Amino acid sequence: MPLPVRHLLLAALGLAAVAGLLFVTGDLTALRVAAVGYTMLAVAGLQLLVGGSGQVSLGHGAFMMIGAYTMALLVLHQPSLPLAANLGVIVAVSVVAGVAVGAATARLHGPYLAGATLILAVGLPGLAHRYHQLLGGSNGLNIRTAGAPPFLDGLVTTSEWRALVVWTTVVLGLAALATISAGRLGRRMRAVRDDETAAAMAGVPVGATKVAAFVIASAAGGLAGGLQAYVLGTVTPGSFTLVLSLTLLAALVLGGIGSLWGALWASIAIVYLDVWATDLARAADLGRDVENNLPVVFFGVVLILVLRFWPLGVHGALRDLGARLRVAGSGTSS
């Protein structure tokens, strides 16, 4: 079976699993399931950039912001466009942003690239304040998008429909990322990551490969941001802070770099550690200051502990466990 077909089949399976999950759980979890979906797409794009091409970006939230604001502006100013067209435009805009950032930073390496992307993450929300006529300042933009189509009335709720739309886009995006990563471009990226000079001598166009990685990561991040705006119906500069960018990268390493499964664990961690920490603070009645800050502290502590005891992240730990079980199983049978 050719690889793209296999990835599409897996994508369909994944979508079916999510639909089943939505059917079993209630309306309330639908929003969280959708949040896991678009976060996973963003993290998977970052995984291709960091794990694939070895460029550490601390500014992935900036691409999500570009996608989210594009979605909001399209809904506000071109309300007749269908959602699929909006998503297409978002990908195009993100690709342009990715080319610009990737080309500007292609000569930067290691900590210098990390520093430059960090500045992008802190600086970009400033544009929303600068152009507050168009972008709404710190209040951001509010949008209304269509819910479930009429023939599905009573069958799925609005948030369940949104979660399904999000996940359909997400699994298609993930299939594309997996196909790219397994193909020639993915191999070139890994060559550049392992040794730039050696890759150049073997005929790999180093600069173009690095820019390509940025473009793909940016498209995934922008699409994720657009989906977030679609689900939440609001876009503010306050939701694209430095903490978001840092959390995306940190979660990627926490989940386990080098695999899309890692991106899944990462997005579950981002969404659910936050939920659990808030619930915990409420249940223990710890006061407002603690409640507001507990999620980020909780995430940081889990991150440090995971790195301390499982340097390869959750996915690495699970793989180790699987290997050990298999060894134990074959040991007893022989």
Per-residue binding string, other proteins, 23-52, x by CB under 8 A, is ---------------------------x--
Q: Which is nearer to other proteins, 115 or 329 (CB)?
A: 115
Residue from 190, 211, 214 nearest 202 by CA? 190
Interface residue with other proteins among 96, 206, 296, 317 (CB under 8 A) is 296
Give the nearest distance from C-beta 280 to other proteins in angstroms. 13
Subset of 230-269 contacting other proteins (CB under 8 A): 242-243, 246-247, 249-250, 253-254, 257
Residue 311 in contact with other proteins, rule: CB under 8 A: yes
Q: Does 120 bind other proteins (CB under 8 A)?
A: yes
CA 306/CA 251 separation, integer angstroms: 11
Spatial separation of the C-alpha atoms in residues 21 and 167, rounded to whole Å: 12
The DSSP letter of residue 235 is E
Cα angle 293, 295, 167; round to 5: 140
Q: Does 285 bind other proteins (CB under 8 A)?
A: no
Is 99 near other proteins (CB under 8 A)? no
Are 22 and 30 a contacting pair, CB within 8 Å?
yes
In the complex with other proteins, which residue's Cβ is closer, 182 or 296? 296
- Number of Cα atoms under 13 Å in the Cβ half of residue 198: 8
CB-wise, 12 or 200, nearer to other proteins? Answer: 200
What's the CA gap between 41 and 217, in Å, rounded? 9
Quick check: 48 and 248 in contact, CB under 8 A? no
Q: From the CB of 317, what's the least distance to other proteins, in Å?
A: 13
* Contact between 127 and other proteins per CB under 8 A: yes
The answer to whether 292 contacts other proteins (rule: CB under 8 A) is: yes
Rounded to the nearest 10 degrees, how much is the dihedral formed by the CA atoms of 327, 332, 333, 334?
80
DSSP class per residue in 102-116: HHHHTT--HHHHHHH
Residues found near other proteins in the complex (CB under 8 A): 50, 56, 58, 104-105, 107-109, 111-112, 114-116, 118-120, 122-124, 126-127, 129-130, 195, 197-198, 201, 242-243, 246-247, 249-250, 253-254, 257, 289-290, 292-297, 299-301, 303-304, 307-308, 311
